[in-house]
Amino acid sequence: MRVMRDRKGRGGKTVTVITGLPDQGNELTTLAQQLKKLCGTGGTIKDGNVEIQGDHCDKIQEKLTSLGYKVKRAGG
């Protein structure tokens, strides 16, 4: 699982993208809701990846690690 910050194709807006998540629909939706609530912002599930608005890589990495996922930081 990788956590990265991205701005490409979003009009200069920054999003945090989480890739490599388990592809069970209900579990993925629940995880996305938890991460959005943690960051206090919006987000979406796109092509099996979770996108959270804003730069929240550190918070998300800590949360996923505490949930038992093996997480790597990618990009800048």
Give the mean pLDDT of the chain. 90
Q: Does domain 2-73 have CATH number 3.40.50.300?
A: no
Question: Contacts from 68-73 at CB under 8 Å and sequence distance 24+?
Answer: 69/1, 70/1, 71/1, 71/2, 71/3, 72/1, 72/2, 72/3, 73/2, 73/3, 73/4
pTM: 0.88
Order of all β-strands in the sheet with 49-53: 43-46, 49-53, 15-19, 2-6, 72-73
The CA distance from 47 to 68, in Å, is 23
Domain residue spans of the chain:
2-73
Write the pLDDT tens digit of every residue in 28-56: 899 999 999 999 999 999 888 999 999 99
